[in-house]
Amino acid sequence: MGKSKELYIQYTTQLWGGQNGEVNLKTQDGTILTFAVRELYADLPSIIAMVHMELEHEEKHQREVWHKLGKKLTKDYK
């Protein structure tokens, strides 16, 4: 296998299929990612599970940040 290339996608601008067994995503910088539909479909359960785990982690982190801020504000104004 060749050298890996990392691509960060902040958001997508388009999503389309061409009725040719492929799904295309266009990213914020104009890069087009093309997926073979069978492979993408097979990966969806894992992708969805990872997305849920990351969202839960992000939400937990935000709650902790707000909780710490609340404690600090309470302490500062006693």
Residue at 7 is within a domain: no
Q: Give the domain extent around 43.
A: 12-76
> Residues 54-67: pLDDT tens digits?
999 999 999 999 99
Q: What is the dihedral of CA 54, 57, 58, 64, to 10 degrees?
A: 180
Residue at 44 is within a domain: yes
Provide the domain count of the chain: 1
Q: Is 3 left (phi over 0), alpha (psi -120 to 50) or beta?
A: beta
> Residues 13-46: pLDDT tens digits?
999 998 999 999 999 999 999 999 999 999 999 9
Residue at 4 is within a domain: no
Residue at 43 is within a domain: yes
Sign of torsion, CA 16 22 23 24?
negative
What pLDDT score was predicted for residue 36?
97
Residue at 2 is within a domain: no
Full-model pTM: 0.72
